[in-house]
Structure 1
Amino acid sequence: MELKDVEKCCCVIKVAGTPGRKSVSCSGVIVHPRSGSRRSKPSRQREVSGELLMLVNCVEFKQTFLGVFQETDQWRFHGDDEDAELIRDAQSLSWFAVLRAGVVVNNNTDTESTPWQSSSSLQKGCPVVACGSPFGSLCLDLFISTLSRGIVSNLAGEDNAVILTDARCLPGTEGGGLFVVEATDSVRLIGVIVSPFGWKSNEWIGLTLVCSVDVIFRSVVRSTGVRDPLRGVWGQKEEADLCMSRTAQGPEAVGHPTVSFVDSGQAWGSGVAVSARLVVTCRHVVGGKSSVTLKFHQDGRVQDVVGNVLFSTKSSSPYDLALIELRDPVPEAVIPRMSKSFHLGEAVVVVGYGGLGRVCGPSLTSGVLSKAISLNGQPVMLQTTCAVQAGASGGAVVRKQSGELLGIVSSNARDLAASVTYPHLNFIIPAPVFQRPLQEFQKTRNVDVFSVLNATERDVRRVWRLQGAQSKL
C-alpha cells in the first residue's frame, strides 16, 4: 500500500450517548473493506451504523505496560488529573474493540485488506506515519484522517507489544493507525494508537503510545479459538486472510553513537561514548560525585561499568559538561565522528535515556536543527525540535543521514510561572565546544586542558542566560 492511501484506512467512530452520559468519538483502523466503510472520495464522508463484534483484552500489552510505566514514576495517559471517567478509561488501555460496519463498499479499488506487519521486526528509528482524526467527530471535513510523520522511539515487551513514537498526535486519534514506512515509500499497518499523550511526574514527554496490531490480532484469535482473527466478518473465503508481512524493508539504519545510562545515585541521565574508555555527559548528571555507574545496552545485553569523574565544569560555566573515564573499556562502543558544520533545518535525531530511563535502553526522537548560535565564528548553542524528556541530559544529537555527533543535550525549556515543560524546545552544547580539549586530553592525559570550558566569555554566558529557567534533565 502506498503512503497516499493511508488516509483511506482510517475512520471516525462515534458512540451514542446514554442518559446522563454524552456521546464520545475516536478514530479507527479499517483492516478490510468488508469490516468497515471507506471514503470513496476525499471530499465526502459516509456515516453508517456499526456492530460491536467483540471487546478483547491484549494481555501482552497490559503486562508490558505495567512493567514499563511504573506508578512510582507518576505516569498518566489522560489529560485531566481530576476527571474520574478519564482515569477509569486509562486503566482500560489494553482493551480493543472489533466492529463491523453496516454496509459493504462496492468500489473495486477498496477490495483488498490493509497490509500489516508483525512488530517483532521493528527497530528503533524506523520511519512511521500515524493516521487519526483529531477531536474525533468534530469538524470531520477539516480533521478526518490527518497524517503525522515520526520514527519509532522505543519498543518493549514480547514481540514489541508496546511501541512509542514521536509522531505527534492529538486527542481523538486514539484507535487510529500507526504505519511503518518502507524504503519504497510503501506502508504497512504496525499498530493502533492507544494514547496521544503521556505525562511523567507532570511533565509531558511528547511521545505517542501505541499497541502492536500483531498482538491485538493474536488476542482476538485466543478469544475466538480460530486462526483468522476476523473470520465471518466478510463472506468470501478468498477474502478471509489479512495481508501480513513479517519482514521490514525500511531504509538502512544509520549507526548512532553508543549512549549509556549514567547513574550518580542522586541523579541520572545519559552519556555519549567518545572512546572505548571515555564518556561525555552533563555536570548536573554526575551531581558532584567522584564515581558513577554506567549501563550500556547493546545487542540485547546490558553491561554495567563503574566510571571515575575526571572533570566537571564549574557551576558558573554555561557549559554543563563532565568527562567520565571507565574503569573497564567498552570495546563494542560506536564512536561518533564529530561535526564541525551545522545546517538549519537539517534532520537530526536525539539518542538518550529520556522518559523510560534504563528500562528499554535509549530512546530515539527525530526533528530538525532549529537554531545554531555562533560567536566569533564558533558555535556556542544549538536548538532542536526533537522531543527531549527528563533523563536525556548528556545524550547525543546526531545528523540523521550520517550519524555524526552534533552536540550533547543540556536541557529542554520550562515555563516556571506556568509549570509547563516544552520537550520540543531544547538546548544543545555543540560538539566543537569540547572536541579540541578532548583531543588534547587524549594526547596528554592532562585534565587541565578542560579548564578552557570554565573561562568562557561574557557573550557566551549571555547566550546561555536562560539556563536557570531551563528544565534540568
Structure 2
Amino acid sequence: MSTEEDPYSQVCTVSIKPLDGKAEGTCSGILLDTQQGLILTHASLLYPLVEECDPERLRRLVRDGSGDKRIFSGAVNIEVTLPNSDNGLENTFFTNDRTIHPVKLLSQAVQDVRPFVRCKGKLKTIFECKRLRDVLTKLMPSDSWQFVEDISAVENRTEQDNKSGNKAELCYNLLPFFILIKLQNLYPMENVLSVRDSVDNKAGDPVEICATPFGNMSPEVFLNAKSRGILSKVAGPRGVLLMTDARCVPGSEGGALFYCHKRKRLLTGIVIASLCWKNNEWVGLSLACAISEVIGSLKSHLTHDLDKIKRTEYVSGFGQGFIPRLIKHVRCVNVGHNWGSGVVVDSEKGVIMTCSHVLNDAKYSGVHVSDSESSSSEMCNIIYRTPLKSQFDIAFIQQKNVTAHLSEDKQIRFGKAVEGEVVYVIGHAIFRGQGDTLPMVCRGIVSKIVQHNKVPVMLQTTCAVHAGVSGGGVFNTRGQLVAIVVCNSKDTVSGACYPHVNMCVPIETVASVIRHYLQTSDEDILRSLHVRNDAVKRIWSIGTEDCTMISRI
C-alpha cells in the first residue's frame, strides 16, 4: 500500500505526562485533521492522571459534558508519536535485484531510520458524545459493568480508595468523553482517511483495529498493530455504539476501527474500551464509538470547519450478505427472569431449536419468544426437551406467528462443520432480547470437533460466547447451521468463564432426526436425541463428575 493510500499513517499514540514525571497517561489516537494538526483520542488518557487533575474541574467535566486544558492542576507534557511513512525502506526490500539481502542491512554502519516521529501537542478540549452516554447508561449500567484492566482492584478496594474516589467509577463516567489535541510542529499533509457514516454499520461487517498495545511503552515494537474481526453488535441511536470481537488490549483506546472492503479501509469508529467486565466476568469484546457521531459532537467545540474530512457512500460488504438473513432466524427465548436463544429451523411450522437448560423454569414461567423485528413477545409451546444434564442439551418449541419467508427455503439449511473453517455464532448474548432486539454476532473458527466411534459429539469454536447465547446458532460462511451453542468453559478455582472456549452440539449428528420430525411431525423420533452413553457423558463432563468445568449460558 503506497503512502498516499495508507490510512494507517494517521493513526498514532498519545502520551500526557506531568512535569514532575510521577504518572503518565497513554493510549492511541487518530490524526483527524491533517491541515490543522488535530489529534482525536479517548479520555482514557486521564485514567492514570486522576491525582494530577483538579478535582472540581473533573467533576464539572463529567457533569457538564465538556472541559478544557485547565483540567490539570499543574503543567504537563503532551507527546504524539506518528508513523514515519517516508523511511525509504520500501524500495530496498521490494527490489528485483536478487543480490540484495535485507538481513545484511542490519549489520551495515549506516544511520538508523526510525519508524516513527514524535511531535509536541497541546490540549485543546475535552468533550462528550451525548448519544453514546445515553446508550451506555441504558445498556451497560455501572452497577453491573466495569471497564478496568484489573477487576480485582474493583472487588478489593480499600477504605482509603473509597475515600479518595472510585477510579473504576471515573473510568465508567469518562467512557463517552474524547480529547482533542493540537500538534505544535506538524507539517501539513494530505488527508487519506475516508469516514463511514454510522448508519451504514451493521452486525457482521468485517472490521480492523489499528492501534498501539500498551500505548507509548514501546512504539518500536507495538506502534499501529492490526487485528481483525467483525462488528458483533451495533446499538443506540444512529448506531453510535459498536462492539467488535477484534483483538484489543489496554493502550488501544483511541485507536482506529476501520471497515474493511477488499483493500480499502474506511474509518468507522474509535476504540473506547479494550476490556469489559459484566458482573465480574470478562467479556471478550471491545467497545468503539461511531466516528461520524464523535465528529458531530466535536463540531460544536470548534471554530473552524471539519467538512474537509472525506466521507464515503455506503460500500456493501463482501461475503457477508447471508448474516442479516440469518439474524432473522435467531430468536430470544425468555423464561421468567432468564433468557437464551433459539434458531427457527422451520419457518412454516414455527419450529424453533434451543437448549433444554434454557427452558429449565418453563413450567413456572412459560416460554416467550421475541425476534429482531419487534420487541413484543409471543407465548410458545414446548414440543420436546431432553432431560437436564443429557449429553445433547436440545429442545424444540413452537411459535405460531413466525415471520413468513425468512429465507428462500422454509427450512434452514444444515451443514457439516470442518475443523479450522470460519464460523459465526449468532445469539442474544449479554443483552436481553426485549428492549434490544438484535442478536450478537461473533466470528471465529471451528477449533475442535470431538468424535466418539467416528461420530461428532462436540464442536468447539473460538467465537466469543456469553450468557444468553445458549441455543444460538453456529453458522458457516455458506449460511448453513453447523451447531447449537450449549456452554463455555470456566476455571474451577476462580469460577471465571472463558468466552472463546465453548462447546456446541454438532448439527451433523442430529440433523437426520430433526429432518424426520419436520417431515412427519412425529414427536417420538425426537426422543432418540436423549443419548445414554458413558463415554459421551465423560466428554461433555470435561473430566468432572458434576460438570464443574462448563458454564451453562
TM-score under structure 1 normalisation?
0.90
Q: What CA distance in whole angstroms lies between the structure 2 residues aligned with 1:196 and 1:331?
A: 40
Asked whether the equivalents of residues 123 and 152 of structure 1 are also in contact (C-alpha less than 8 Å), the reply is yes
- Is the aligned partner of 1:470 residue 2:550? yes
**Counterparts of 2:34 and 2:299, CA distance in 1:** 20
Please give the alpha-carbon distance, in whole angstroms, between the structure 1 residues aligned to 2:285 and 2:502. 15
Q: Shift of the alpha carbon at 1:77?
A: 1.4
The SS at the match of 2:493 is coil
Q: Give 1:205 deviation, angstroms.
A: 1.4
Structure 2 match to 1:292: 367
Cα offset for 1:105? Answer: 3.6
1:39 equivalent among 81, 84, 98: 84
RMSD over aligned CA atoms reads: 2.2
TM-superposition CA deviations, 1:22-51 (whole Å, max 9, x none): 111111011233316542349522121101
- Tell me, yes or no, if structure 1 residue 345 matches structure 2 residue 420: yes
Tell me which residue corresponds to 1:115: 194
**For 1:332 and 1:202, how far apart are their aligned partners in 2?**
41
* Mapped partners of 2:437, 2:429: distance in 1: 11
Counterpart among 378, 399, 402 of residue 326 in structure 1: 399
Give the whole-Å Cα distance in 2 for the aligned partners of 1:187 and 1:7: 9
Question: 2 CA distance for matches of 1:425 and 1:381?
Answer: 12
- 1:237 match: none
Quote the residue 1:253 is aligned against: 321
Equivalent-residue separation in structure 2 for 1:85 and 1:200 (angstroms):
17
2:388 to 300, 303, 315: 315
Residue equivalent to 2:56: none
Structure 1 CA distance for aligned equivalents of residues 224 and 493 of structure 2:
36
Say if 2:94 is the partner of 1:15.
Answer: no
User: 1:305: which partner in 2?
Assistant: 378
From 438, 441, 447, the equivalent of 1:361 is 438
5 Å-filtered alignment, 1:426-465, equals 426-465=502-541
User: Which piece of structure 1 moves more, 311-320 or 436-445?
Assistant: 436-445
Task: Give the aligned partner of residue 52 of structure 2.
Answer: none
- Which structure 1 residue ranges, 4+ long, deviate > 6 Å from structure 2? 1-4
Distance 1:456 1:17 in 2: 66
Aligned: 1:5 with 2:6 = yes
- Report the Cα offset of residue 449 of structure 1: 1.3
What amino acid is the match of 1:352?
A: G
> Does the 8 A contact of 1:116 with 1:188 survive in 2?
yes
| Cα distance change of structure 1 residues 444 and 360 upon mapping to structure 2, 3 Å threshold | closer
Matched residues in 2 for 1:2 and 1:293: separation?
Answer: 55
Q: Do the aligned residues in 2 keep the contact of 1:128 with 1:152 (CA within 8 Å)?
A: yes
Judging changes above 3 Å, is the alpha-carbon distance between structure 1 residues 419 and 19 closer, same or farther for their aligned structure 2 residues? farther
> What residue number does 1:379 align with?
456
Looking at structure 1, the residues matched to 537 and 125 of structure 2 have their Cα atoms a distance apart, in angstroms, of 61
For residues 22-61 of structure 1, the aligned pairs below 5 Å read 22-34=23-35, 35=37, 37-40=82-85, 41=87, 43-61=114-132
Q: 1:38, 1:105 within 8 Å by CA — same for their partners in 2?
A: no
Q: Which residue of 2 aligns with 1:275?
A: 346
Contact 2:341 / 2:468 at 8 angstroms: preserved in 1? yes
Given that 2:83 and 2:115 are in contact with CA atoms closer than 8 Å, whether structure 1 keeps it comes out as no
Q: Is the 8 A contact 1:256 1:336 kept in 2?
A: no
Give the counterpart of 1:414 among 487, 490, 493: 490
Q: For 2:149, which of 76, 79, 87 is the aligned residue?
A: 79
- Distance change (3 Å), C-alpha of 1:115 and 1:331: same
Task: Give the whole-Å Cα distance in 1 for the aligned partners of 2:333 and 2:535.
Answer: 31
* Whole-angstrom distance in 1 between the partners of 2:512 and 2:337: 30
Q: Find the aligned partners of 1:210 and 1:330 in 2 and give their Cα distance.
A: 32
Secondary structure of the equivalent of 2:511? Answer: helix
**Structure 2, unpaired ranges of 5+:** 40-81, 90-113
Question: Within the alignment, does 1:195 sit opposite 2:195 as a pair?
Answer: no
Q: Secondary structure of the equivalent of 1:159?
A: helix
1:7 to partner: Cα distance: 3.1
Match of residue 217 from structure 2 = 138
Higher deviation after alignment, 17-26 or 63-72: 17-26
* Equivalent pair of 2:7/2:193 in contact (CA under 8 Å): no
Offset at 1:112? 2.3
CA deviation after TM superposition for structure 1 residue 316, in Å? 4.1
> Separation in 1 of the partners of 2:13 and 2:437?
33
The alpha-carbon distance between structure 1 residues 6 and 112, as it changes in their structure 2 partners (threshold 3 A), is closer
Task: Note if contact 2:473-2:485 (Cα within 8 Å) is conserved in structure 1.
Answer: yes
User: In the TM superposition, what whole-angstrom CA distance separates every residue of 1:228-249 from its partner, at most 9, and x where no partner exists?
Assistant: 23xxxxxxxxxx7011114133
The answer as to whether partners of 1:124 and 1:154 remain within 8 angstroms in 2 is yes
| One-letter code aligned to 1:446 | D
Cα distance in 2 for residues equivalent to 1:362 and 1:199: 19
CA distance in 2, matches of 1:455, 1:351: 26
Long gaps (5+) in structure 1: 230-239
- Match of residue 234 from structure 1: none
In 2, the alpha carbon distance for the partners of 1:413 and 1:98 equals 42
- Indicate the residue corresponding to 1:204 in structure 2: 282
Secondary structure at the counterpart of residue 293 of structure 2? helix
Matched letter for residue 198 of structure 2: S
Q: Distance in 2 between matches of 1:430 and 1:279?
A: 16
Q: Give the drift of 1:91.
A: 1.0
Q: Which residue of 208, 217, 224 maps to 2:295?
A: 217
Does structure 2 retain, via aligned residues, the 8 Å contact 1:263–1:294? yes
Which of 1 and 2 has greater Rg? Answer: 2
After TM superposition, list the pairs within 5 Å mapping 1:90-109 onto structure 2: 90-105=172-187
- Name the SS of the counterpart of 2:485 in structure 1: strand
- TM-score in terms of structure 2 length: 0.78
Equivalent position to 2:133, from 62, 73, 81:
62
CA distance in 1, matches of 2:247, 2:465: 13
Code of the aligned partner of 1:195:
A
Moved more, 117-126 or 4-13: 4-13
The count of aligned residue pairs is 453
Contact (CA 8 Å) 1:267, 1:287: kept in 2 or not?
no
Q: Which amino acid aligns with 2:362?
A: K
Quick one: structure 1 residues 93 and 322, their matched pair in 2 at CA, closer, same or farther if it must change by over 3 Å?
same
Shift of 1:19: 5.3
User: Residue 257 of structure 2: which of 147, 164, 178 is its match?
Assistant: 178
